[in-house]
Structure 1
């Protein structure tokens, strides 16, 4: 199922007013997010949070490796022919940098299916700063990860690959704790930037399974 297929589904039964729906979300973002009050149209399989730095700030600039795809009213960050996208947020007050998405490491396919060379992983300079069509370059950021793969379903075969220590082998032959892998192997990841006047911009929408 494609990204926009399930996002276009009728969501009247899944709309809720909180992002506290039980999904713990990606481990690498655990210390940098907070719940969103009054959230709308949160899917049952969606982890959604607002980005916040350890200093408590919520305004960021976005720098990235990749190229831009003009899609309707938004400008999306996508990968290049050489390598997947890499996106980092920078706190405009403290200067703290927070990894938002690494297309070589985050998501189901990068973890369990795709293999990348060391050059693809390391040679992705963050030389570009994201600027929207109206020249805005600082934003509040909303992150969403979608989880539609049932790792605990025995018929899927993942459980039999977990070793006696609770680790599972990834595509790069490294091992990760199974519970941590389930949190980081989302099948879709989305970044929404919000301007000072409240306009929402889709910055990244990666289908990863």
Structure 2
């Protein structure tokens, strides 16, 4: 499961993950670069999650369910998309890392969700790996393969805003950053095991 395996051995290429791709606005100031990333794609933004106080170990709370076949993956329910929150255990700081109702191309331009669908999701399930581990370092990748300038430039108003499917207006530059077409979240345990926790095609 998952479009890409970012941990495959191979040519490291770049020295860090700073390849010029700008990532989601909601993670500004909450990530750090990865040194010598392997198989970093030209349209991929990849970072390690980090709190404002420097912590890099997290538990995960979520709304949704585990995939029936790939039971390590968080997915949405038949009623609504998933909602995933990272929690720093010591301080209790919570960081939203994915909301399927508002993040990604489809949520912005294709799939409209009601207020009830959005509000009736509570991230109250605690994620555990299949062997019971619940604390991880988190690596997040978003893929930005959509040419927004080509597809939507004529829809941007004179103030630089574009209307989404729900009728709200958002700055076009914000849409480019949060309207990614694919998301992957990997957790690394203390013993070095790597678990794919989220893998969503969003366009």
TM-score category by the smaller chain? over 0.9
Q: Which runs of 5+ in 1 are unaligned?
A: none
Match of 2:133 among 123, 133, 136: 136
Match of 2:163 among 169, 175, 181: 169
Q: Which runs of 5+ in 2 are unaligned?
A: none
Would you say 1:159 and 2:153 are equivalent positions?
yes
Would you say 1:117 and 2:114 are equivalent positions?
yes
Question: What is aligned with 2:59?
Answer: 61
Q: Structure 2: how far apart are the matches of 1:119 and 1:17?
A: 45
Q: Tell me: CA distance 1:169–1:91, structure 2 relative to 1, closer, same or farther (3 Å).
A: same
Question: What is aligned with 1:87?
Answer: 84
Question: What is aligned with 1:50?
Answer: 48
Q: Tell me: CA distance 1:13–1:167, structure 2 relative to 1, closer, same or farther (3 Å).
A: farther
| Alpha-carbon RMSD | 1.9
TM-score of the superposition, structure 2-length normalised? 0.93
Per-residue deviation, residues 6-60 of structure 1 (Å, max 9, x unmatched): x38xx97884332000011000001211101121111111000000011110010
Give the conservation status (yes or no) of the 8 Å contact 1:55–1:94. no
Question: What is aligned with 2:16?
Answer: 18
TM-score of the superposition, structure 1-length normalised? 0.91
Give the conservation status (yes or no) of the 8 Å contact 2:12–2:37. no
Number of aligned residue pairs? 200
Give the conservation status (yes or no) of the 8 Å contact 1:166–1:177. yes
Would you say 1:180 and 2:174 are equivalent positions?
yes
Per-residue deviation, residues 50-108 of structure 1 (Å, max 9, x unmatched): 00011110010000000001555x61000000000000000011110000000000000
